[in-house]
Amino acid sequence: MEFAIITTGGKQYTVSKGDIVAIEKLSDTQKVGDVIIFDKVLLVDNGKDTTIGTPYIAGASVKGKVTEIGRAKKIIVVHYKQKSRYFKKNGHRQPFVKVQIEALK
């Protein structure tokens, strides 16, 4: 089975054809149905050969299509210091983009 390791948004993802990956920190200009090309490919394995980049593989790319844009579940962030009446509570929802991988080149 062919797979690749790509980097985007400061994180690395292992992807293969047909996978759906939730990626953080993509640009706000993306819409559902857009095609995204990931050109920062670190490793490609086709079952027989493994190609490792230094740090990236020249000419390699991964093509994906945006399937969903949303926000993750709410995370509650609490800051507390005992004996000093200090308490702060915030909520945060991280935005994400779900991308379906169409091709590895």
List the Cα angle 82/74/85 in 5-degree steps: 15
The domain tally of the chain equals: 1
Query: How many other CB atoms sit within 10 Å of the CB of residue 4?
Result: 24
Letter for the amino acid at 24? E
Structure tokens that stand for 60 in this block: 């390699």
What is d(CA 79, CA 68) in angstroms, rounded to the nearest whole number?
33
Rounded Cα gap, residues 42 and 5, in angstroms: 5
Question: Can you give the residue range of the structural domain that contains 62?
Answer: 3-104
Residue by residue, pLDDT tens for the chain (105 residues) are 789 999 998 899 999 999 999 998 787 788 898 999 999 999 999 888 888 888 889 989 999 999 999 999 999 999 999 999 999 999 999 999 999 999 888
Q: Judge if pTM exceeds 0.75.
A: yes
